Amino acid sequence: MVIIIGAGISGLSLAYFLEQKNIAYQLLEKSNEVGGYLQTKKISDFQFDLGANTILTDEFLMNFLKEIGTEIEIIEAKDVSKNRYILKKGKYRALPSKPQHLLWNNFFSWKTKWKIYQELKKKKENFDNETLSHFFERRFSKEIVDYALTPFVRGIYAGNPDNLLIEKTFPLLKKYEEEYGSVIRGFIKNKSTERKKTISFKNGMRTLPDFIAKKLKNITLDCEVENIQKSNEKYIIETNKGTFEGEKIVFALPSFMTSKLLCNILPESKVLNEIEYAPMKIVYSIYEKQDVKHQLNGFGGLNPAVENTFCLGSIWNSSIFEHRCKENQVMFTTFVGGSASPEKTKLSEQETKEKVHQELAQHYNIVKKPIFSYIYFWEKALPQYDKNCINAHQWIENQQKDNIFVCANWYGGVSLGDCIKKAKNLSENL
Ligand X SMILES: Cc1cc2nc3c(=O)[nH]c(=O)nc-3n(C[C@H](O)[C@H](O)[C@H](O)COP(=O)(O)OP(=O)(O)OC[C@H]3O[C@@H](n4cnc5c(N)ncnc54)[C@H](O)[C@@H]3O)c2cc1C
Strands (E), 289-389: 300-302, 313-315, 329-337, 372-383
Q: Which of 14, 18, 28, 237 touches ligand X (CB under 6 A)?
A: 28
What minimum distance in Å lies between the beta carbon of 108 and ligand X? 26
Q: Does 8 bind ligand X (CB under 6 A)?
A: yes
Q: Does 381 bind ligand X (CB under 6 A)?
A: yes
The residue range among 48-56, 171-179, 269-277, 363-371 that interacts with ligand X, by the rule CB under 6 A, is: 48-56
What minimum distance in Å lies between the beta carbon of 374 and ligand X? 14
For residues 141 and 114, is the Cβ–Cβ distance under 8 A? Answer: no
**Burial of 269 (C-beta count, 10 Å sphere; 0-12/13-18/19+):** buried
Give the sheet arrangement for strand 248-251, strand by strand: 219-220, 25-28, 2-5, 248-251, 404-406
What is the per-residue binding string for ligand X in 249-268, x denoting contact by CB under 6 A? ---xxx--x-----------
Q: Does 55 bind ligand X (CB under 6 A)?
A: yes
What minimum distance in Å lies between the beta carbon of 373 and ligand X? 17
Q: Does 419 bind ligand X (CB under 6 A)?
A: yes
Mention every residue, 6+ apart, whose C-beta is less than 8 A from residue 132: 149, 153, 161, 162, 164, 165, 166, 169, 170
Q: Does 80 bind ligand X (CB under 6 A)?
A: no
DSSP 286-318: EEEGGGB-S---SSEEE--GGG--SSSEEE-HH
Q: Which of 18, 26, 48, 51 touches ligand X (CB under 6 A)?
A: 51
Whole-angstrom distance, CA of residue 215 vs CA of residue 67: 10
**Burial of 315 (C-beta count, 10 Å sphere; 0-12/13-18/19+):** buried
In the three-class reduction of DSSP (H, G, I as helix; E, B as strand; rest coil), residue 283 is classed as: strand
Site for ligand X in 360-379 (CB under 6 A): 378
Mention every residue, 6+ apart, whose C-beta is less than 8 A from residue 311: 283, 303, 334, 335, 336, 355, 356, 359, 360
Closer residue to ligand X, CB minimum distance, 116 or 253: 253
The residue range among 27-35, 40-48, 177-185, 284-292 that interacts with ligand X, by the rule CB under 6 A, is: 27-35
What residues are paired with 375 via a beta bridge? 283
Mention every residue, 6+ apart, whose C-beta is less than 8 A from residue 226: 238, 239, 240
Q: Does 53 bind ligand X (CB under 6 A)?
A: yes
For residues 412 and 405, is the Cβ–Cβ distance under 8 A? Answer: no
Q: Does 37 bind ligand X (CB under 6 A)?
A: yes
Closer residue to ligand X, CB minimum distance, 83 or 415: 415
What burial letters (b/e) apply to 242-265, b meaning 16+ CB within 10 Å?
A: eebebebbbbbbbbbbbbbbbbee
Site for ligand X in 201-260 (CB under 6 A): 224-225, 252-254, 257
Q: Does 9 bind ligand X (CB under 6 A)?
A: yes
Q: Which of 266, 360, 414, 420 touches ligand X (CB under 6 A)?
A: 414
Per-residue DSSP letter, 162: T
Q: Which of 2, 3, 4, 5 touches ligand X (CB under 6 A)?
A: 5
What minimum distance in Å lies between the beta carbon of 407 and ligand X? 7
Q: Which of 2, 3, 4, 10 touches ligand X (CB under 6 A)?
A: 10
Closer residue to ligand X, CB minimum distance, 225 or 366: 225
Q: Which of 4, 16, 19, 29 touches ligand X (CB under 6 A)?
A: 29
What minimum distance in Å lies between the beta carbon of 280 and ligand X? 6
The rounded radius of gyration (Å) of the Cα atoms in the chain is 22
What minimum distance in Å lies between the beta carbon of 112 and ligand X? 28
Q: Does 311 bind ligand X (CB under 6 A)?
A: no
- Considering CB under 6 A, how many residues would be counted as binding ligand X? 37
Q: Which of 396, 409, 411, 430 touches ligand X (CB under 6 A)?
A: 409
Calculate the alpha carbon distances from 23 to 19, 131, 138, 422 in Å. 6, 40, 47, 17
Q: Does 280 bind ligand X (CB under 6 A)?
A: yes
List residues binding ligand X (CB under 6 A): 5-11, 28-31, 36-38, 51-55, 224-225, 252-254, 257, 280, 282, 378, 381-382, 408-409, 414-417, 419
